Amino acid sequence: MEILHEKKLKELEEMANTIRQDIIKMLEQAGSGHSAGPLGMADIFAAFYFYILNHNPKEPNWQGRDRLILSNGHICPVRYAAMARAGYFPVKELKTLRKLGSQLQGHPHRRHLPGVETTSGPLGSGLSQSIGMALAAKLDGRKYRVYCLMSDGEQDCGNTWEAVMFAGKNRLSNITAVIDRNNIQIDGFTEDIMPLEPLRDKYESFGWHVLEVDGHNIEAFIDAINEAKAVFEKPTVIIAHTIPGKGVSFMEFDYLWHGKPPAKEEAKKALNELRTLGGKIKSEHE
């Protein structure tokens, strides 16, 4: 990892904004898909693809790469946008999301898009798959790290806790999990649907090292990732507190935006907000 200086941090923040704009355009074109989750995770994806990951977009199957597993596959627009910006495939392909013949399936598929690591969508099995990759690394004496991004909603799944228990027992310190703690799921707020708190205590009691950060503070998130690397006796989970729909005022905090795309006028308004950072800067088009 290079040194995180002011200029780099600014670049990452700008990249997160670019990714958010890509997400809005992709979803509007597709006419279906999820808005809130992808927007909420744009900062973390910018941090991963443009700073944290040891990877090579031109050689997506390079064996030494870090693995980034997206367990909650439904927020894939943010991954696709970050991958395109990182050079895995042309940015113009983003507009084919969810269309016939596209590499960009509605939920990510390993055989459709190199670099996607694994197929996901049905919730709760990403951490287990990450464990498989982490075990393979240990068996083969490889040094790559496995990052598993999960939603808070999928903490409802039994499979998630089977995996949490296993990783704790086996002290899999080459895994870092990140939970997108945005407090919403399809039917409403997580604490109404199926309360998760105290989430930190749950992971700690299962033998994990737990960190909590503001998921929109890229510097703090990178610090947490570095701390996780320094913990050798247990796996680490970073509970990243995020705002669903982050960056678009009328989507923020509203669970109704979990599973729908913006219509044409809404997309225009959203893009205007993102380009002007919520009106803080004047758009060059005005």
Partner 1 sequence: MIKLSEKIFKDDIGQEPTRNGYGYGLVAAGEENSNVVVLCADLTESTRSHWFAEKFPERFIEMGIGEQSMAAVAAGLGISGKIPFISSYATFSPGRNWEQIRTTIAYNDSNVKIAGHHSGISVGPDGATHQAIEDIATMRAMPNMTVIVPCDAVEAEKATIAAAKIWGPVYLRFTREKTPVFTDKETPFVPGKAEIFYQSKSLPEVLIIGAGPVLHNALLAARDLEEDGIGVIVLNNHTIKPIDERKIIELAKKTNAVVTVEEHNIIGGLGGAVAEVLANHYPIPMEFVGMQDTFGESGEPEELIKKYGMDAKSIKEAVRKVVKRKK
Q: Give the nearer residue to partner 1 in terms of CB position, either 136 or 263.
A: 136
Among 5, 7, 111, 280, binds partner 1 (CB under 8 A): 111
User: Total residues contacting partner 1 (rule CB under 8 A)?
Assistant: 30
> Judging by DSSP bridges, how do beta strands 188-189 and 184-185 pair with one another?
antiparallel
Helices (H), 171-252: 190-193, 199-205, 218-229
Among 54, 59, 64, 136, binds partner 1 (CB under 8 A): 136
39 binds partner 1 (CB under 8 A): no
Interface pattern 190-229 for partner 1 (x via CB under 8 A): ----------------------------------------
Whether omega before 198 lies within 30 degrees of 0, making that bond cis, reads yes
Helices (H), the chain: 6-30, 36-40, 42-47, 76-86, 126-140, 158-169, 190-193, 199-205, 218-229, 264-275
Q: Is the CB of residue 33 less than 8 Å from the CB of residue 27?
A: yes
Sites for partner 1 among residues 159-178 (CB under 8 A): 159, 162-163, 165-166
CB atoms within 10 A of CB 220: 15
125 binds partner 1 (CB under 8 A): yes
Half-sphere exposure of 70 (CA within 13 A, CB side): 28
Stretch in the footprint of partner 1 (CB under 8 A) among 48-56, 137-145, 177-185, 203-211: 137-145
In the complex, least distance from residue 80 CB atom to partner 1, rounded to whole angstroms: 18
Beta bridge partners of 70: 149
18 binds partner 1 (CB under 8 A): no
Q: Which positions touch partner 1 (CB under 8 A)?
A: 109-111, 117-122, 124-126, 128-137, 139-140, 158-159, 162-163, 165-166
